[in-house]
Structure 1
C-alpha cells in the first residue's frame, strides 16, 4: 500500500527550498507526490486543463479532486446526474493520475437515509472512482450512515478538527483512508505541533498496511500546510530508514 502526503492546492511559501524553474505545480511535485485540487469546488476546469496538470507532474503523482459545490451545496446531493457526469468527464483528463474524488458536505446537511441512498446509487451508476466523503453534521456519524457508505465503497474522511470524536477517525469503506488536517487550534491557519506530526506519522505507518492512505493539509492560509506536509514526509522517511537498519 502507499502513503500520499500533500496539501490543498499547490501554492507554497517562497522562502522554502523548492526549484526556481517550472510552473508552480511542477515545482510542488518535486517535493510532494500528491495534491488536492480545491478550485474544482468553485468552478469547472476543462478536460485539457486537467490533462496539462497531469503532464506537468512525474509518474506516480496523484491528484485528489474536490467535487463541485453545485452537487454538494446547491443541489444538496439531489438530482445531480448532469453536473456529476460533466465533472467526471472533465477530471478524466488526469488519466491514471486521478486519485480520490472528495465530496465535502455543508455543515447544515443532515444525514437522511433515503436521499443519501438515492445519491449513492446515482454516484456509483456513473462509475467506480475512488471516493471519500467529509460530512460535517453530527448526524452522519451513526451506524446507518457508516453502513451505507461502506456498501457504496466510499470512505469517510478523518478530519481534524473533528466535529464529533468519531469524525477524527476513518469510517465508511475501509479500502481507502483519507485524512484532512485543517489546522488547530485555528482552522486553516494554525500549524501542527511536532508532537501532533509524530502522532500522525505513527498512525499513517500503521494504516498504510491495510489500505492506500492519504493525508492532506488544508491549513494553507499562512503556508503552514506546506511546512507541515514536508515535516511529516521527513518523519515517515526517517522511520522507514530506521526500520531498514
Structure 2
C-alpha cells in the first residue's frame, strides 16, 4: 500500500462533489484519501490536543506526515535546535500510531555541511525511530547520500526538480517520498494524465520492492492537488489493485 494525499486537507470547490459524506473537512477528506501532509506545522505549532483530535477523527488506516517547523530548518538552519525539536516531537506524539512520516524541507540556500547535518539527524534519530524524509534544495546535498542511508532517512523525489539528483528517490531505499509541487507553475499547475500514469508505474515499482511509499501533491494553490490525487488513485487502483488501501470509499 502507498500513502497518497495532499499537503493539507482543504477541499477546493471544484471537487466538492467528491466529498459529500458528513463530517469535518478532515473527516470528509479521509473518506477518499488515506494520507495527508500537515504543512501548517511548518508555520506554527499545534497544541497536543489538536493533534489528538485529528488522529481520533480519521480511519484506522489513515496516516499523517508532518513537516518540521521552519524555526528548525529555516531560522536555526539545523543548528542549536534541540529545544525546538524536542517541543515539536512532544506535540506530534499525540498523533499516536497514525503518525506516518516526518518531512524535513530545507531552504534553497542551505548547503550540505557534513558535520552539522549528521549531528542534527543523529539527534533526530535519538528521539524518533519512525520514517523520515528530507527535501534538500541545494545541489551540494548530492553528497549526503551515504549519511542519509546510514541513518535510514530518505531523500524526497521532488517535482519540479531543483538539482540533478532530486528528481528521483534517493537516500535510504526503505522509504520513498514523492512531493509534487506543480509544473510548469509551481504550486498551481496540475499534472497531465500521462504524468500521473508514469507516476503510478513508479509507485508500483517502489511498492513492489517493499519500500514504504508516499505520494503527496503540493500543487494546492489553485486546487489542482485534490484532482490529481483522486485521479491517480482511480488509475492506480484500476491498474494495480493491490497498490492502494481498498477500504477507501469510491
TM-score when normalising by structure 1: 0.95
Pairing of 1:89-238 with structure 2 (within 5 A): 89-142=90-143, 145-210=144-209, 211-238=211-238
- Match status 1:51 vs 2:52: yes
- For residues 13 and 23 of structure 2, what CA distance do their matches in structure 1 show? 14
Give the 4+ runs in structure 1 shifted more than 4 A.
none
Give CA-to-partner distance per residue, 1:66-117, whole Å, 9 cap, x none. 0001110011000111111111110011100001100000000000111112
Secondary structure of 2:182's counterpart equals: coil
- What residue number does 1:6 align with? 5
Report the counterpart of residue 79 of structure 1 in structure 2: 80
Secondary structure at the counterpart of residue 100 of structure 1: strand
Q: How many residues align?
A: 240
Q: Which digits, 9 at most, give the CA deviation of each residue in 1:49-77, with x for residues without a partner?
A: 00000111011000000000111001100
C-alpha separation between the residues in 2 aligned to 1:127 and 1:66?
Answer: 14
Q: 1:83 to 1:241 in 2, by over 3 A?
A: closer
Change in Cα spacing, 1:76 to 1:232, as seen in structure 2 (3 Å) is same
Unaligned 5+ segments in structure 1 are: none
Shift of 1:240: 2.5
Q: Is the 2:204–2:240 contact (alpha carbons within 8 Å) kept by the matching residues of 1?
A: no
Structure 2 CA distance, aligned partners of 1:242 and 1:26? 24
Structure 2 portions without partners, runs of 5+: 244-250
TM-score by length of 2: 0.93
For residues 23-45 of structure 1, give each alpha carbon's deviation from its aligned partner in whole angstroms, at most 9, with x where no partner exists: 00000001100000000001000
